[in-house]
Amino acid sequence: MEIMKAVLGLEDGTCVTGEGFGVEGECSGELVFSTQMGGYMEALTDPSYHGQILMFTFPTIGNYGVDRMNFQAPRVWALGCVAREICPGPEVRPALADYFEENGLLGIHGVDTRMLTIKTRVQGTLRAALVVGSNDPGHAVDMAKRVPPISDSDLLPAVSCKEPYHIPGKGKRIAVIDLGMKKNMIVSLRHRDADLHVFPYNCAPDQVLGCRPDALFISNGPGDPVHATDAIRCVKDLAGTLPIFGICMGNQICGLGLGGQTYKMKFGHRGTNQPVRYKDGSIYITTQNHGFAVATDTLPEGASVLYSNVNDGTLEGFEDPYLDITCVQFHPEAHGGPRDTEIPFFDTMFRRLA
């Protein structure tokens, strides 16, 4: 079988060649890395990776094939996949390379992901281009240099639901703003029998109130949170009117809605092994995927830090008891990865609504 050529070019002029998998084609966006050892399909199907090429630092992926049960969306949202090695996978499931080929996806393996990860940690997130079916380094680097910064792009319309929809339940009525929501957020809410009214990214506060909710929940999503102007408006207008909860970008939206500020991180937090410290000093291992964060010193009066990152001290969640707002930057609903925080976050949420 003939090996398909592939090349990955970076904006700084770096170019690596490897073996392509999937189909011939090209894509360009931010190159980001995830440190997770499993859950590669959960990551690839996470809508928060829209606009990014996802590189795995673990040296081998694909060892258990493609597990569709844990997809976080019906399709792969990452623009492309970069790996040191991909496995054929077990015969009982489709192999990763076969799935990429059948679904028109782009990937490269056989490259030095350790070198690329170190470069990213030193220089920060770099714009990149992946070309499968060619090994022309100049073309890949030129493409990478032309990629606009991710903050220049509004990625939310592509990943959010197009129209409001309802998932009936016998429990508390939750209005959900879908900014590119992972499936397991719905699963965690439905495990508590929540009655869910899901709205697109551009919903208005009166639409949210129209379903007479017991609380507002804001999901994860891709890109720069400042583009989520309608969701920020919902927080501004509804804070103090009903309880508000947020995860990942939802955390950033709540911070912006209360007058705080966000910033782009050097290379972000992505993986299933991020330690966070709760306000009482206890430590949790969490799953994360974000390249932006709320600046702690911009939190408004009345809001306080709930969680902080053990590695770099960044804000991992805050609360405002007076306005009844609680949000976290990590993913308590995550599969596959640590679920240490699913019960504390979601059960506490529903106890407060009782």
Residue closest to 214 by CA, chosen among 196, 231, 227, 228: 196
Token pair of 267 as six digits: 């290379």
Give the residue from 130, 147, 164 where a domain finishes: 147
Cβ 249 vs Cβ 48: under 8 Å: yes
* 227 tagged catalytic: no
**With contact defined as beta carbons under 8 Å apart, do 288 and 182 qualify?**
no
Segment holding 34, helix H or strand E:
strand 25-34
According to DSSP, the residues that pair with 292 across neighbouring strands are 264
Are 169 and 314 part of one and the same domain? Answer: yes
| SS3 category, 311 | coil
Q: Do 209 and 287 belong to one domain?
A: yes
pTM of the model: 0.96
Q: Read off the pLDDT of each residue in 246-268 and give the average, rounded to a whole number.
A: 98
What 3-state class would DSSP assign to 72? Answer: coil
**Cis amide bond preceding 104, omega within 30:** no
CATH number at residue 212: 3.40.50.880
Question: Last residue of some domain: 103, 124, 147?
Answer: 147
Specify whether 179 is located in the same domain as 94. Answer: no
- Indicate whether 137 and 278 sit together in one domain: no
214 shares a domain with 288: yes
State how far the alpha carbon of 80 is from the alpha carbons of 24, 111, 124, 329, in Å. 12, 14, 19, 25
For residue range 212-229, list pLDDT tens digits in order: 999 999 999 999 999 999
Active site residue 211: no
Burial class of residue 312, CB neighbours in 10 A (0-12, 13-18, 19+): exposed
- How far from 138 is each of 117, 254, 278, CA to CA, in Å? 22, 43, 48
Domain identity same for 136 and 250: no
Residues 26 and 137 in one domain: yes
Question: What integer is the mean pLDDT of 74-96?
Answer: 93
Q: Is the pLDDT of residue 336 over 70?
A: no
- Specify whether the CB–CB gap between 264 and 331 falls below 8 A: no
Report d(CA 242, CA 235) in Å as an integer. Answer: 10
Is there a catalytic annotation at residue 333?
yes
- DSSP, collapsed to helix, strand or coil, labels residue 203 as coil
**Is residue 120 predicted with pLDDT exceeding 90?**
yes
Residues 23, 135: one domain? Answer: yes
Rounded to 5°, angle at Cα 190 from 184 and 192:
120
Q: Do 136 and 242 share a structural domain?
A: no
DSSP codes joined into one string, 125-173 = SEEEEEEES---HHHHHHHHHHPPPGGG---HHHHS-SS-EEE--SS-E
Bridging pattern class, strands 283-294 and 262-278: antiparallel
pLDDT in tens, 12-38: 999 999 999 999 999 999 999 999 998
Q: Do 129 and 187 have their domain in common? A: no
pLDDT confidence bin for 1, thresholds 50/70/90:
low
Catalytic residue among 42, 331, 335, 342: 331
Residues facing 289 on adjacent strands = 270
- Split at pLDDT 50, 70, 90, the class of 135 is confident
Tens-place pLDDT, residues 279-297: 999 999 999 999 999 999 9
Instruction: Assign residue 85 the CATH number of its domain.
Output: 3.50.30.20
Question: Taking the mean position of all CA atoms in its chain, how far away is CA 285?
Answer: 17
* CA-based R_g, the chain, Å: 20
**Which residue in 11, 26, 30, 333 is the catalytic one?**
333
pLDDT of 250 strictly over 70? yes
Query: What's the confidence (pLDDT) of residue 353?
Result: 93
Query: Domain containing 338: what range?
Result: 156-353
- What beta strand segments (E) does the chain contain? 5-10, 15-22, 25-34, 52-56, 60-61, 80-83, 85-86, 106-109, 126-132, 165-167, 173-177, 195-199, 215-218, 244-247, 262-278, 283-294, 304-309, 315-320, 325-328
Residue type (1 letter), 215: A
- Structural domain total, the chain: 2
Q: Does 276 share its domain with 160?
A: yes
Among 81, 211, 234, 248, the one annotated catalytic: 248
Instruction: Collect all residues with Cβ–Cβ distance below 8 Å to 69 and sequence separation of at least 6.
Output: none
- What's at 87, amino acid-wise? C
Q: End of a domain among 127, 147, 167?
A: 147
Q: Are residues 189 and 336 in the same domain?
A: yes
